[in-house]
Every structure is written in structure tokens, then in C-alpha cells.
Structure 1
Amino acid sequence: MSPNHQKHTDKWWETEYGENIHSYLQYCEVKWRIMYKFAARSPQIHMRPVLLKTIRSLSKKYEMSNACVHLAVLLLDFFMDNHDLKFDTIMLVMFACLTLAAKIEEHCFIIPKLNSMRNVISRDVTNSLLRKVEMKILMFFNCSVAVPTVAHFIELYKEHCYHDKDFSDCGAARRLKDQFDSMILFYQDVSLESLKLISYNPSMIAASIILTTRHTLRLAPCWTVKLRKVTGYLKKDLVQCCSLLGRNVMQHRKYVPPVDEGYQSSSPVFRSPIIMGTRKKRTHIDMPSIISSKRLAF
């Protein structure tokens, strides 16, 4: 066996092309980016918590990955921001976003079936109509729906989120991975609930989650040279995003997972500014004319 031969791994960041792949993912997130207008007057915006809860419920039922959930929510957010959806249509659009995300991120056996949504979607909805909705979403995004999300970047960044010096004793190091993973998943889940975070690039949100986790544990320094090199972000680049993340925790009265005694300290108080957004007009989508609307110019 050649000394340069690498053992097969499913972790792309552990390959010799890891840095190149990360750079390409950051390029893709910027190239794909669509302006989000914070359309608070949208008739369906009040349903977002329900839609998010349904996506989480289905993802848990079908054992979907975080990458699938984040991609489904991303597609849904930007699609809703550009269309008016009737009540009887919005659940179908949400499900179509989830199935598209599953077709990209999951094994074919994990893709949810229409029958699993019969309790919230009309029984008159057929698989043919679901495919038409999927096609409408694909057309809106110019078929570019395989985009990097927060979950993709988190997998890389969390590998560098701690080191031995962060802990006061060796016993804590044995439990640190589970503790960090739990808190990172918590903040990752919280990030889905904030509308204001949608306008930030996924890599920045992911890096902010790592910074917030270390800051919550009061690990010093909370942003290391290694993390700066891996993510490409300075600490000052992430402060505003971290503040929004922390604000969402406080607004929803989220419970921060308990800190292991092996950590050097406990969580701090969050301080965050309020960022206001603008509004925009959007097209209208109806169930019979699901393919009629077109992408807006930005």
C-alpha cells in the first residue's frame, strides 16, 4: 500500500481536499444567495412556527439528518418570501420542500411519502400535484437546490471547537465531545427559528454557533487561531450574528443545556441588537395554478 494512500472516510474535511471543498462551499453559498426581504406582511409568515414544527416532526419520524432539515427550511423560507400562498397550499409547499431536501441529502428509502401528511393535507392532493409543486420550487431556484446549509459547515467547524487546554481536568475531556455536541445541536436548532438570521450566510451562522458555544462555556479564548483559520472569520465578523442567536434564545426562553463541571465556567448573559428588515411585493400562487408564478428580479 502506498504511504500516501488515505483510508476511506465519509468526512470530506478529513481528506486532502478538505480545505478546497470548504472554500467551494463558501463560494456556492454566496453565488446562490437570494436577498431575503423579511416580508412580515406575508399572509403565511405567521404559520412559519407550525411549518417548522411539522418539518421537525417528520424528520424525526423518518430519521432524517440535520442537513436535510436545514435545507428544507432554507428552501421554504426563500420560496415563501417571494410568493403569497393560500392556507390549503402552504402545507403542500412545505412538504414539497422537505421531499426535495430528502432527495438530495438522504437515502431513497428515507424520503417521506404523501400519505404521511394526510392529517394536514387534503386527501384530494395527488402525487402528481406534489410533483408539480416540486417542479415549481425547482423552477423558482433555477434547479439549484443542492446548496450548503448551516448543518454542512457545522460538521467541519465542530471538529475544531475545543482543545485540551479548555478543560480543568482530564476527566472532563472524556465527556467533552458529547457535551459540546449537545450544546451545538441546541444552538443549531435555535438558529432555525430566527427570521433575522436568514440573511446571513450559513457558514457565518455555523461559525457563530461555535463561538456562542465557547462563549456560553466561557472558554478562553472564545475564538481560537485554529477556528479563525478553518472558518475564515474573525471574531468581530461574528459578533452581530451571535447576538441575534442569543436574542432568539432569550425571546423564546430556551433552556441552555447544563454545563459539565469539568468545564471552566458556566453560561453568560446574552446581549443582542435588533436588526430591522425591508419589505417587498411577491407573486401569488394558487392550488390550480401552481406553476403559473415566476421568479422575481432582485
Structure 2
Amino acid sequence: MELEGQWWKGELAEDIYQALRYKELRLPVYKGQSPQLSLRRYFADLIAIVSNRFKLCPAARHLAVYLLDLFMDCYDISVQQLHMVALSCLLLASKFEEREDRVPKLETLNSLGCMSSMNLVLTKQGLLHMELLLLETFQWNLYLPTAAHFIEYYLPVAVNETDLHDGWPMVCMEKTTLYMSKYADYFLEVSLQDHAFLRFVPSLIAAACVASSRVILHLCPAWPPCLQCLSAYTWEQLLPCVERLLIAHDSDVKEANKQKCPKPSAQPAQMVYPVQGQSVSLHQYMQRPNTQYMQQSCQPVVVSSQGPATYLTHTASMQGLTQTQTMDAKVNMPGRAYQVNPLYPCAAPCFDR
């Protein structure tokens, strides 16, 4: 990101942060009532694939998924229409978060390989119609903070020179900071994969991503006073979200070991955490008092006959739909192609035009 976009380094950073915290308290309520909720992961991955293809900023990707969640929560939408909705959410989010020259163009979108695999053809009229419906659903308000906005404010102080690594002073501050950024990005992507994270406010998710990264990186204390003061969250408040993130990380490590050495007789990888010379499970480790986190090494150790675990990023997958859910023919999107049935009354006058 260019220097001019690094708001967290400016003089107004604290004011912007407080404005974001104020705004997140007024975010729409997510009910998780979409009939297509089982497909939510697939379409979140679709947004991630297209976002990565155009190298959009994390804020645009997170905002797009959040718009999709809110829209699916309001309407009963067919699978064919959801493809159009997901891509329209990404376009709206990129127009809000990115420079104009970075917003994906219609021709480039239609040329993507995943578009042909979905048998989907976008039209200008269809996109404009869908964007109008989205804007009217959100009452023309796209100022919706996400975890990607908050984590930029936390990362500059996520690693301190006074931190201990395995009980010893850090050898290389620069390298630790680099790994912190990578793990924070990873946990941010983890938070997009499950709608259960919507029960937490974005600022707490961002703080939990930093805390989880510190746990993985051996940094102690796991949640130092400077981060607690900056975020206004205690370790106990972060604990439910951190536990979800670390469980997802453990699952990814196990999956990486399976893919690395697939043997029928092999024992699956088990994540254990060192506490005063003992190996405890994740649940036991997470339930220890906060003082124990402040004193103990926080790095999970992989115990497996397959060798050390590898870092597995959340690469978006296009395997979420079954054969019965895929489209059989190309879908052209003229102005009145959509038939959306609301789950509860919601004005959508653009369908009447």
C-alpha cells in the first residue's frame, strides 16, 4: 500500500480509529438466516479468488464478503443469482476502497478462467442493476468497518523490542515483524471463511488475529499491556475468538501434513502446547489463567510422524458446489433478470423499474 494510504501512521490515526469503533457499534445485525448459508463459504472463496487476481487490498475483500453476508441474510437467492451478487459486492467494495484505476473492468472479469467454469457472462446492464439493488438494500451506506481496517492500526505495535521469544530476548526484530504481518494476514483470511465470526465486532476480530499470531510466534506475553491499552480489549475478551482462530490453524496444519505425506497407517498430526514442560491440548491451554499466558512460551508444537508441519494458507477453493448446484447454461443478466424473494419486507424498487 502506498504511503499516502497508510492512515494509521498519520496524525489523525487515533481520531480515525475512534470513528471506526463508533461506526462498528452501529453495524447491521446479522441473523444467519439465509437458506443458502451452506454455500456461503464457496462464494466467499470466489470473492477471494477474484480479489487476489486483481490484487485488491484486504479491506476491499473483507468489505465485499461482509456485503454478501448482509445481502444473503435479507433475501432468498438462487445459486445462479448468487454468482452475480458476489461479484457485484466485490465491484462495489473495490470502488469504495480502491483507486479508480484498480477497480476490475467488465471485459477483464469475463476473461477470467473461473468465469467460463461457472458458465457465467456478465453484462454492463446486469452489473448496474445489481449494484443499484445492493446500494438500496444498504441504504447507500458502504461505510462499514471490517477487521481489515482495524488490524492496520494494531500491527505497528504488534511486536515490541521488550517481547520475549521462548523466554529469551528477540534475536531479529525485523524478521519477527515480517512473520507477524504474514500470520495476521493468514488469520484475517481465516475469519472470512466462517460466518460464525460475525458474532464478534470487527475490532475484536482484528485484535484476536494479532493475539493469535503472537501465540503462534512464541511471543510473550501473548497480549501485552500496550496492545490491551491500544485496543481496549483484555485477553479474556479476546479468548473466544482467539480459540476459534487457533482451532482453524490446527486444522490447517493437520491437513497440510496429510497432503504432504499421505500414508494410510500414518498417525494424524496433533497440536500440543508447551506449559512448564507439559504438553496440553488446545482447550486446556486456552483455559489457563491470563497470568500463565504472560509467563509461558506460546508456540504450538506439531507432534507427528510425518515431520514438521508446514504453513498452510487459506487458498480459495472452487469446490463448494455440488453437481446439482452448478449452472447448466450461460446466464446473461439483463436489467430485469432477477427474481429475489425477501425473507422479510425490504424495499427493492429497482425491480419495478
Give yes or no for contact 2:47–2:90 (8 Å, CA) kept in 1: yes
Q: Partners of 1:195 and 1:63 in 2: how far apart?
A: 24
Select the structure of larger CA radius of gyration. 2
Name the residue aligned to 1:10. 5
Name the residue aligned to 1:288. 337
Tell me the alpha carbon deviations over residues 69-94 of structure 1, each in whole angstroms, 9 at most, x when there is no partner: 10101110111122111121000000
Cα 1:112–1:290 change in 2 (3 A) is: farther
Q: Partners of 1:198 and 1:228 in 2: how far apart?
A: 22
Q: Partners of 2:281 and 2:11 in 1: how far apart?
A: 40
Give yes or no for contact 2:212–2:242 (8 Å, CA) kept in 1: yes
The answer to whether residue 162 in structure 2 is matched with residue 165 in structure 1 is yes
Give yes or no for contact 1:70–1:192 (8 Å, CA) kept in 2: yes
The answer to whether residue 97 in structure 2 is matched with residue 109 in structure 1 is no
Name the residue aligned to 2:282. 270
Amino acid of the structure 1 residue aligned with 2:346: R
The answer to whether residue 48 in structure 2 is matched with residue 56 in structure 1 is yes
Shift of 1:139: 1.0
Q: Partners of 2:229 and 2:63 in 1: how far apart?
A: 26
The answer to whether residue 160 in structure 2 is matched with residue 152 in structure 1 is no
Q: Indicate the larger mover: 45-54 or 193-202.
A: 45-54
Name the residue aligned to 1:193. 193
Cα 1:194–1:237 change in 2 (3 A) is: same
- 65, 83, 97: which is aligned to 1:73? 65
Cα 1:180–1:255 change in 2 (3 A) is: farther
Name the residue aligned to 1:22. 17
Query: Whose strand fraction is larger, Structure 1's or Structure 2's?
Result: 2
| Unpaired segments ≥5 residues, structure 1 | 1-7, 257-266, 274-286
Q: Partners of 2:38 and 2:124 in 1: how far apart?
A: 27
Q: Partners of 1:28 and 1:38 in 2: how far apart?
A: 21
Shift of 1:193: 0.7
In the TM superposition, 1:124-143 aligns within 5 A as: 125-143=122-140
Q: Partners of 1:43 and 1:291 in 2: how far apart?
A: 13
Name the residue aligned to 1:206. 206
| Unpaired segments ≥5 residues, structure 2 | 258-278, 288-335, 348-353
Amino acid of the structure 2 residue aligned with 1:295: C
TM-score by length of 2: 0.68
The answer to whether residue 88 in structure 2 is matched with residue 96 in structure 1 is yes
Give yes or no for contact 1:153–1:203 (8 Å, CA) kept in 2: yes
Name the residue aligned to 2:299. none
Cα 1:170–1:245 change in 2 (3 A) is: closer
Give yes or no for contact 2:76–2:340 (8 Å, CA) kept in 1: no
Amino acid of the structure 1 residue aligned with 2:192: L
Name the residue aligned to 1:36. 30
Amino acid of the structure 2 residue aligned with 1:97: C
Shift of 1:121: 5.5
Shift of 1:37: 1.8
Shift of 1:100: 0.3
Q: Partners of 2:175 and 2:41 in 1: how far apart?
A: 33
Cα 1:57–1:268 change in 2 (3 A) is: farther
Shift of 1:269: 5.1
- 120, 124, 131: which is aligned to 1:122? 120
- Helix, strand or coil at the partner of 2:76: strand
Amino acid of the structure 1 residue aligned with 2:120: S
Name the residue aligned to 1:179. 179
- Helix, strand or coil at the partner of 2:40: helix
- Helix, strand or coil at the partner of 2:218: coil
CA RMSD after TM alignment:
2.7
Q: Partners of 2:280 and 2:58 in 1: how far apart?
A: 27
Shift of 1:128: 1.2
Give yes or no for contact 1:216–1:268 (8 Å, CA) kept in 2: no
Tell me the alpha carbon deviations over residues 58-78 of structure 1, each in whole angstroms, 9 at most, x when there is no partner: 111111011111010111011
Cα 1:270–1:139 change in 2 (3 A) is: farther
Q: Partners of 1:121 and 1:114 in 2: how far apart?
A: 15
Q: Partners of 2:60 and 2:43 in 1: how far apart?
A: 15
